[in-house]
Amino acid sequence: MKLDDLFADFLANGTGRALVLLAPELLLCATIIATLLWRLLNLDRYVPVAAIATLGVVVSLGWAGWQLQASIFQLQPAEILFTGMIRLDRFALFLRVYLLLFLVLQIVLTTLGGIPDQEDSPDFYTMLCGAVVGLLLMTSAHHLLLVFLALEMSSVPGYVLAGFLKGRRQSSEAALKFVIFGSASAGLLLFGVTLICGLAGTGDLSLVGSRLEAVISIDGATLANPALRTLLLALVMIFAGMAFKLSLVPFHFWCPDVFHGAAAEVGAFLSIASKGATLALLVRLVLGMVAGGELEAFWNLLAQGLGIIAAITITFGNLAAFGQTNIKRLMAYSTIAHAGYLLIPIAVLAIPALAGVDQIASTVTVAPSTSDVLQTQGVVASSVAVRAVESMLYYIVVTLFMNLGVFSCLILVRNQTLGESIDDFRGLASQTPVLAVAMSLSLASLIGLPPTGGFVAKLMLFSSLYDAGAKLPLFYAVLIVGVVNILLSLLVYLKLFRAMFFDQPVEGAPPVRIAPFSMATMFVVTVSIPVLSLGIDVSGLSRLSRDAAVSLWDQTQDESGKTSSQVSQLNETPVAGESMQGNSVSGGLNNGDHQ
Amino acid sequence: MSLGAYLAVSAVLFASGLTCMMTKRHALGVLMGVELILNSACLNLIAFARYTSLGIDGQVFALFVIVIAAAEAAVALAIALNYYNNFLTVDVDRGDELKR
């Protein structure tokens, strides 16, 4: 393809319209520039930078919310933008609203907590908004290039945020550990991504799965096949990179140290927004790469591996959280445990029979945006996958409110007592009942006790896990581990309940006094209400997240013909040595002839 | 030259980068290892761009990787400098205040 053609193609694809659709991201970029210029022009003496950042992010959130509701009511199909780089469906729009809502709450929280002072606040908000731009791109990535790019866009500002308290030894140590482990895992991930690109001969996530299947099935899916070994290596490397971001067990060691050393505000960012977007990216990656046919047994094995890692992560997180006295460290281990729970839907999606790989080929039509995904074949099968994604989305929305509840209470208490250990929470109920109640509500949700959102989220997760167990019995074991861990986590958080409600304050400790009608109280109450209401009124958010989940399987507007024909073609010729891509790719790999 | 030759060089680069990362205790040494890994991935991409149907996508990908690597190195060096200001060393093992 010539450069001229490329350029003409780029313009013909409706770049102008694509830019409008990407307005929330662009508005965030504009906010970054505005916050930087604001201090340069010395305007921050009159209007604080936080106000400008809030304004920009609220406008962006409004735009994203409007796009989401328009997409739901007008049943807009998924769209591929920027020559296949971005897939904008309701899944992406939903997570966009989620991330921007988090950003608004986070900026308000930083103004209450006062961690970036007047002098440093432009830097802080620049990094925060920059990281969120990366996270937004992660949720809509549709090409392996963008997967890596967006991951790095969100990680690099994260390293800076971890080391934001420059003069503190703990903070700089946390940042160094974060940046070293982070860049190492990013390197691994990149190497894995390049191997996948080479094997499949494309980076387009809608094609990778079927191309991989075509390449592997030439020599059969056994370990004697070098292509399969390469694929396995690449997948392990990619998983290592993603597991680092999610803090899953073999790659979790950075998490407690970084949470401990960095400010609590940064911990909130890492445990909420970063996790949510990484999960979304993992959903897209798994759905893009999972393949049936010859590779079905291989992927079933991988799915079971993911399930085992999830079980280990949950158990480890809860056991390690048990002995902690620092709340930030405790929350780090709690984040690890919840990352384990959230890995379960990904494991369910990695089962080819559930991910709808074969069903799409056999029925071709995936009814968009209705609750019954596949009318004819495999109704039960694919609706399990949809329910898994739905429960994941519900879970991360609940996580947003409950983790923010804990972190905001922690920040408010820290500002009064200058400490972040459990002892600083002793006697909180007698001093400021509002904080104690909000905190215990969030903790109850973290455990998964009935009237809170955490209970519903776990219930939805377990029900999709139970259905997946019908396919792979190992998932029943994961289910049992998950349920037992609820009891374990109860023991972990019991200490905090006791400290807040039954213990007397430490003698000589400064009392926690927060005015009942201050901004701080209002913020904590605002964050706590959804924790409760999501546990009582399930239908609203559940319908929204189901709509978002279903759209992952939507055929896209301009590429629908290509995608469906690709899959069905492979289905007709299981050998696939005759299919065109199979030939060109394998020829490239084995003989090295120039295309 | 076949694709295998390029991939062999890149595998050697990757292995040396990984070894460097694992064994060095000096923060900058670890970062050098990371650079080696990123460059081996770049080499992979260029080779695949030439020999498989990846085509120009691979070359564009490699360009982006170079830019990202530069940005990451800048941030990592700044953080290492800040670490030095606090600890008067860049030995990774000396940072043990968070272990309890």
Residue of A123, A183, A257, A589 best to disrupt the B interface, most CBs of B under 10 A = A183
Residue A574 belongs to some domain of the structure: yes
Residue A67 belongs to some domain of the structure: no
Question: What is the tally of structural domains in chain B?
Answer: 1
User: Positive or negative CA dihedral for A533, A539, A543, A546?
Assistant: positive
B61 with A197: Cβ contact below 8 A:
yes
**Closest chain B C-alpha to A68 CA, distance in angstroms:** 31
Residue B100 belongs to some domain of the structure: no
Residue A139 belongs to some domain of the structure: no
Beta bridge partners of A79: A88
DSSP A439-486: HHHHHHHHHT-TTSHHHHHHHHHHHHHHHHHTT-THHHHHHHHHHHHH
* CA dist B100 → A261, A264, A489 (Å): 12, 19, 21
Residue A127 belongs to some domain of the structure: no
> For residue A58, what pLDDT is reported?
97
Residue A281 belongs to some domain of the structure: yes
Residue of A310, A294, A297 lying closest to A345 (CA atoms): A310
Residue A398 belongs to some domain of the structure: yes
CA–CA gap between residue A284 and residue A85 (Å, rounded):
13
CA–CA gap between residue A35 and residue A124 (Å, rounded):
10
Residue B72 belongs to some domain of the structure: yes
Q: Residues of B with CB below 8 A from A152's CB?
A: 68, 71-72
Residue B98 belongs to some domain of the structure: no
End-to-end CA distance of chain A, in Å?
Answer: 12
Q: Does A595 touch chain B (CB under 8 A)?
A: yes
CA–CA gap between residue A552 and residue A562 (Å, rounded):
17
A156 with B21: Cβ contact below 8 A:
no
> For residue A162, what pLDDT is reported?
95
B54 with A198: Cβ contact below 8 A:
yes
Return mean pLDDT, chain B: 92
The distance of Cα A103 from the centroid of its chain, to the nearest Å, equals 14
A148 with B87: Cβ contact below 8 A:
no
Residue B99 belongs to some domain of the structure: no
Question: What is the tally of structural domains in chain A?
Answer: 1
Residue A3 belongs to some domain of the structure: no
Residue A81 has φ and ψ, to the nearest 5°, of -115, 165
Nearest to B44 among A148, A179, A194 (CB): A194
Give chain A's residues under pLDDT 70: 1, 10, 13, 357-381, 556-595
Beta bridge partners of A81: A86
A592 with B92: Cβ contact below 8 A:
no
Residue of A241, A135, A151, A146 lying closest to A203 (CA atoms): A146
Residue of B25, B83, B85 best to disrupt the A interface, most CBs of A under 10 A = B83
Phi/psi region, residue A75 (left: phi>0; alpha: psi -120 to 50; beta: rest), is left
Question: pTM for the complete prediction?
Answer: 0.89
CATH number at residue B31: 1.10.287.3510
**Closest chain B C-alpha to A60 CA, distance in angstroms:** 26
> For residue A119, what pLDDT is reported?
82
CA–CA gap between residue A193 and residue A187 (Å, rounded):
10
Residue A401, number of CB atoms within 10 A of its CB: 27
> For residue A199, what pLDDT is reported?
93
A152 with B75: Cβ contact below 8 A:
no
Residue A142: both structure tokens together = 């549709």
Residues 193-252, chain A: which have Cβ within 8 Å of B? Answer: 193-195, 197-198, 201-203
Residue A440 exposure: Cα atoms within 13 Å on the Cβ side: 16
Reported ipTM: 0.96
CA–CA gap between residue A195 and residue A199 (Å, rounded):
6
Phi/psi region, residue A311 (left: phi>0; alpha: psi -120 to 50; beta: rest), is alpha
CA–CA gap between residue A28 and residue A107 (Å, rounded):
13
Residue B94, number of CB atoms within 10 A of its CB: 14
Find the domain containing A214 and state its range.
166-263+272-594
pLDDT tens-digit series, residues A297-356:
999 999 999 999 999 999 999 999 988 999 999 999 999 999 999 999 999 999 988 877
Residue A42: both structure tokens together = 């010395």
> For residue A511, what pLDDT is reported?
81
Residue A581 belongs to some domain of the structure: yes
Find the domain containing B86 and state its range.
3-92
- Residue A80, SS3 per DSSP: strand
Residue B76 belongs to some domain of the structure: yes
> For residue A113, what pLDDT is reported?
87
B51 with A148: Cβ contact below 8 A:
no
A179 with B58: Cβ contact below 8 A:
no
Q: Does B16 touch chain A (CB under 8 A)?
A: no
Q: Does A581 touch chain B (CB under 8 A)?
A: yes
> For residue A13, what pLDDT is reported?
62
Q: Does B30 touch chain A (CB under 8 A)?
A: yes
Residue of A208, A153, A201, A210 lying closest to B45 (CA atoms): A201
Residues 39-58, chain B: which have Cβ within 8 Å of A? Answer: 40-41, 44-45, 47-48, 50-58
Residue of B86, B98, B58, B99 lying closest to A193 (CA atoms): B58
CA–CA gap between residue A113 and residue A199 (Å, rounded):
49
Contact (Cβ atoms closer than 8 angstroms) between residue A32 and residue A131 = no
